[in-house]
Structure 1
Amino acid sequence: MNCFLLTWNVRGLSRPEKVRAVTSVLKSCGPKVVFLQESKLAHLRPQVVRRLKSAGFSDLVVSPSVGSSGGLILLWDDNWLKVRKTIINTRWVCLIGKIENLNSTCGFINLYAPNNLVNMKLLFDELSAVLVSLDMPVILGGDFNCVRSEDERLGMESNIASMNAFSGFI
């Protein structure tokens, strides 16, 4: 299977077997850009970096976890995307680069949204301003920690306020 983008809430990369499993999936899918959320790592060990990059990636950018939650990793293949700029935030990371075969500049944003409604709204407001300032096509993905409709929620109670905030952001 080939895909150009993969986004995945890995729910922790502290165990070697988890890193091996993630690397195996990345090698089998062959994406050009990968958004990983919830690494739960304050620091990426060199062996984890080597293992992840061995799946065909030239480089990566990291927003470390705060305590035992969060942590973002964005990987890319430099033959496909020539990165010109990176922006690192605690809740999101952004790459701006030129997609080689399209000769087009694009942004890629990987995010991990908070569960708290107030903080979620603040994140959506911040990202809205970033998207407007970039003034280019942007692929935005990650874990939004909310849904747009009750149909999307499996086995959990819906939060109408967060659904409205998410819909307003979109």
Structure 2
Amino acid sequence: MSLLSWNCRGLGNPTAVRVLTDLVRAKRPKVLFLMETFVDKRKMELVRVQNGYDSMFVVDAIGHRGGLALLWMNSVEVEVTAFSSNFIDVQLALDVGKPYWRFTGFYGLPERHRRRESWQLLRSLATHSNLPWVIMGDFNDLLNQADKRGRLPHPEWLITGFREAVNDCGLRELPFDGHQFTWEWSRGTANMVEEKLDRIFTIESWLSLYDGAQASSLICPYSDHLPLMLSPESLNRPGSRRRFCFDNMWLREDKCREIVAQSWERTRGMDVITRVECCGRDIWRWGRNYNKEFQRKIEKCKGRLAYLRNRHDSESMMEYPRVEKELLFLLEQQHIF
């Protein structure tokens, strides 16, 4: 079971939805928290259905600003307890009979002159419940100068204010694997900036429940923020036998038509049902390998992006947008399925 948090920077764009769908397909998070959706509940309903979630709670965007959404599967028990344009607060249990704990999806105010409001909001949220607590999202704040690369140092008053708020709430940061600078701006230019704006915080009582919890950032295109994934429990899933499904993506391949023709010729004289069954098996054997190869291309692009994300030489800077464009093209093809 896992939770995924992402500042998606707008879901009105079909490309953004395709990137989200790939994330969901690859990581299968049971709970999904999205920030800066830039859409209302009606449009989020389409996103919910497309990604196979059973329930959701939405804070509508105001014009082309803000917007929060929490989506979850029915296997997770969720009760929304409070919300605003900057957070969604819930009590949840990973399964029936499992202990309840508290999850808060948080989006810090981006304007510097309003950061004190964000810090006070954190302090207020800390008093709302005694349940074990996890809070994750885009805090729009840094804890130290090492959380930033590029241009001018971060103002010390902002670092101090955020650190004091975190300490006052009794929170401790949960480390995550992967690229640490979760937000970037002006990649490939002299003004490029990288910052660790997205984080996961917990309190001791939650860590005592899930002392083996793991977290990581995920490389994906489109948004200037990286998603964060939190896995309180093991992600090992028992294998299941898949039934045959025809993939519309195969219709683009001439080889698929060749296999159908060859199979139909090979089974000449048999009854129609048998011929269809044989043809289905032939297509499935070929399609299974085709899909694996297609997925390998996607994973190869993601791996290359992860490698390039941390490099700042001119060659890598030029290659990054090319690989990102290639990945978006592959995701568009995948969307046909």
Deviation at 1:116, TM superposition (A): 2.6
Which of 89, 92, 114 is residue 94 of structure 1 equivalent to? 89
Distance change (3 Å), C-alpha of 1:7 and 1:45:
same
Q: Do 2:104 and 2:134's aligned partners in 1 also have CA atoms closer than 8 Å?
A: yes
Task: Tell me the C-alpha RMSD between the 2 structures.
Answer: 2.0
Offset, 1:17:
2.2
Q: Offset at 1:118?
A: 4.4
Cα deviation, residue 11, structure 1? 0.8
Structure with the higher strand share, 1 or 2: 1
**Equivalent residue for 1:67?**
63
Farther-moved stretch of structure 1 (82-91 vs 51-60): 51-60
Distance 1:156 1:144, change over 3 A: farther
The equivalent of 2:161 in structure 1 is 165
Task: Evaluate the alpha carbon distance shift between residue 86 and residue 132 of structure 1 in structure 2; reply closer, same or farther with a 3 A threshold.
Answer: closer
Residue 37 of structure 1 contacts residue 70 of structure 1 at CA under 8 Å; is this kept in 2? yes
Query: Please, which of 79, 87, 97 is the counterpart of residue 84 of structure 1?
Result: 79
- C-alpha separation between the residues in 1 aligned to 2:20 and 2:156? 33
Partner letter of residue 64 of structure 1?
Answer: D
Measured against aligned partners, the alpha-carbon deviations of 1:68-120 in whole angstroms (never above 9, x if no partner) come to: 221111111220x2113342201111111223267111111112111234422
Among 8, 11, 19, the alignment partner of 1:10 is 8
8 Å Cα contact 1:19/1:52 also seen in 2: no
Pairing partner for 2:116 from 112, 115, 121: 121
Amino acid at match of 1:143: D
Distance, in Å, in 2 between the alignment partners of 1:70 and 1:18 is 16
Q: 1:132 to 1:26 in 2, by over 3 A?
A: same
Unaligned runs of 5+ in 2: 167-337
SS at match of 1:11: coil
How far 1:25 sits from its partner (Å)? Answer: 1.1
Q: Which of 1 and 2 has greater Rg?
A: 2
Distance 2:74 2:103 in 1: 14
Secondary structure of 1:85's match?
A: strand
Distance 1:68 1:25 in 2: 24
Number of corresponding residues: 165
Contact persistence 1:107–1:136 (CA under 8 A): yes
Greater share of helix: 2
Give the Cα separation in 2 of the matches to 1:77 and 1:156: 42
Q: Give the distance between the partners of 1:40 and 1:31, measured in 2 at CA.
A: 22
1:137 Cα deviation after fit:
1.2
- Shift of the 86–156 alpha-carbon distance from structure 1 to 2, 3 Å rule, reads farther
- Note if 1:45 corresponds to 2:48: no
Preserved CA contact (<8 Å) 2:48 2:54: no
Of 150-159 and 137-146, deviating more is: 150-159
Query: Is 2:147 the counterpart of 1:152?
Result: yes
- Bigger relative contact order (CA 8 A; separation at least 6): 1
Structure 1 unaligned spans of 5+: none
Secondary structure of 1:100's aligned partner: coil
- 2:31 paired residue number: 33
Secondary structure of the residue that 1:114 maps to in structure 2?
coil
Name the CA distance, whole Å, in 2 between partners of 1:112 and 1:25: 20
* Structure 1 residues 72 and 92: CA distance shift in structure 2, 3 A: same
The percentage of aligned residue pairs carrying the same residue is 24
Counterpart code for 1:76: W
TM-score under structure 1 length normalisation: 0.85
